[in-house]
Structure 1
Amino acid sequence: MKFKNISEEMEFSQKRYNLRKDIENLFIEKNYTNYETNIIEEVKENLPADIQFEDEQTVKIIGGNGKISVLSRDITTNLLNNILPNWERENNLKLFYYGKTFKNTNSKILENRQMGAECIGVDTIDSDKEIIQLITSIMSKYKDNYIIEIGTSEYLKGILNEFYLDNTEYKTIINLINKKNIEDLKIYMKKFENSPSKEALLSIINMRG
């Protein structure tokens, strides 16, 4: 974003900060815990380079030792990959996050800010109600008229994208998840033994919210 002068830039920066703090305080009042993910993600060593980097929008970086990493493309997927392998079913988690994601375009690298919340192990209806109430509180403070769009979460799609599945593999996994068939899913996922997202995918059957 371009500004006419430094005063305009400082005013915009302060408004953005105030909005972020207002939203964070609302989450904290509802007992959500802040969770920070890493901007830099390690690539999957078990996949060939031509498969890993087929997404032209991924921003790649090379370290001093020649090792290739990528800049975070989605915070939700990153968060769940970190949380789910160690998540215990009896633990209810209410998390909120704020961070930057990156996308490579033909002309430049785009830097976006992403903020959101995840309820893991919490009753779906209760968590959905709470999130809608929070959104309403935030939007009504800044606008008289607004639209809330309600759709399904993208975290499952994000995790599945980590495996670079063909169409048959994708449909098989989705079918097993929909049927909550954890045993057959574990057997099927043995072919992806070295993927860091495997445990996150297996844990998703036990999630509510």
Structure 2
Amino acid sequence: MQFRTIAQELEKTKIKKDIKRGIENYFEKTGFSLIEPKTFQDYDDFINSAANPDLAKTVKVLGGDSKIYVLRPDITTNILSQIFTKWDGKKPLKVYYNSKIYRNELRGNVAEDYQMGIESLGDNQINGDREVFEIALNLMSKLDKDYILELGSSNYLDSFFKERKLADADELAIKTLISRKNRDELKGKLKSLKLENTMLTNILDMQGSMEKVITMAKTYETNKEMKKAIRSLESLNEYFFDKGVTDNIKVDLSMVPDLDYYDGIIFKGYCSNKPTKILSGGRYDKSTEKYGLTVSAIGFMIDMNIVTEIRMEGKN
């Protein structure tokens, strides 16, 4: 958001601060504690912790010791490295953050994205999922706009690919076409790999109400992990029905996660008249193995710049 006067910029800062205080109070009332991520990460540690880091977007800094560091590109992996050096995993741990991430833009600038979010570690999957979605739905409803929470499952798609044992390049090409919703090119790619009679032919149609998508997805279950992914969606469907929010929920099994470390339920939040996601997150149990413990893990982030813009529009 560009400002013509310093008064406008100060007004935005004040509104953002008020929003931040409200969200912090809410997180703390629900049992989450503040954690402060490190601004700089060792370059080698970052490479080892990230599944497929986008190095072109990563802001690199040369330290006084001539070592290369990265300016925080992601908060979840950043704080996990802090947590698992001091936590034994015996009791659930719930933390929230209020920080910025940094990335290189195409035109050469360094972008700063202001985020708040939560991470729930070590709780059982059902409790963790429901608590996190309870918080996400509450925050979306506070924006006083029509909203949609869009769900997917990285497990459903990844388990299918794992069973087919495709070359990495072919799997990436298919996922890219799916994420772009490019039906024609996807059809051609699947035909070239003799996958035209599989679930992937209809993956772009697997979106809509939870009941409709779950019913459709069941017809393509071919392994244990795909079945497990659908069972997770069914459990959440029951929860959303009991909460009376099914009209605000959409499922899209063609959703490809923005971050590679997600390995279960993934989700994004959108408001009317705002094409950009406001909230995003997911489950990342397997990723905790890199830190020496394997625990249940789920979280999400809120884009505070967009939330502030929505709040400012409401005041005009």
TM-score, reference length from structure 1: 0.68
Distance across 2 between alignment mates of 1:111 and 1:87? 30
Deviations 1:30-72 (A, max 9, x none): 1110111111111228x8xxxxx98111111112332221101
Q: Per the alignment, do residues 40 and 200 of structure 1 end up closer, same or farther by CA in structure 2, a change over 3 Å counting?
A: farther
Give the drift of 1:199. Answer: 8.0
Give the drift of 1:82. Answer: 1.7
Distance across 1 between alignment mates of 2:126 and 2:54? 38
Which residue of structure 1 lines up, in the alignment, with residue 98 of structure 2?
98
Q: Per the alignment, do residues 74 and 13 of structure 1 end up closer, same or farther by CA in structure 2, a change over 3 Å counting?
A: same
Which amino acid in 1 is paired with 2:111? L
**In the alignment, does 2:141 pair up with 1:145?**
no
Distance across 2 between alignment mates of 1:79 and 1:54? 19
Distance across 1 between alignment mates of 2:141 and 2:27? 16
Unpaired segments of 5 or more residues in structure 1? 48-52, 154-165, 168-177, 179-197
Q: Per the alignment, do residues 106 and 202 of structure 1 end up closer, same or farther by CA in structure 2, a change over 3 Å counting?
A: closer
Distance across 2 between alignment mates of 1:104 and 1:146? 30
Alignment of 1:1-209 (within 5 A): 1-44=1-44, 55-107=55-107, 108-151=109-152, 201=290, 203-207=292-296, 209=298
Larger radius of gyration: 2
Distance across 2 between alignment mates of 1:140 and 1:199? 31
Contact 1:96/1:118, CA 8 A, preserved across alignment:
yes
Distance across 1 between alignment mates of 2:87 and 2:6? 46
Give the drift of 1:202. Answer: 5.3
Distance across 2 between alignment mates of 1:85 and 1:206? 14
Q: CA RMSD in A?
A: 3.0
Give the drift of 1:144. Answer: 3.4
Which amino acid in 1 is paired with 2:126? I
Identity %: 30
Secondary structure of 2:23 counterpart: helix
Structure showing the higher strand proportion among its residues? 2
Give the drift of 1:207. Answer: 3.1
Which amino acid in 1 is paired with 2:86? N
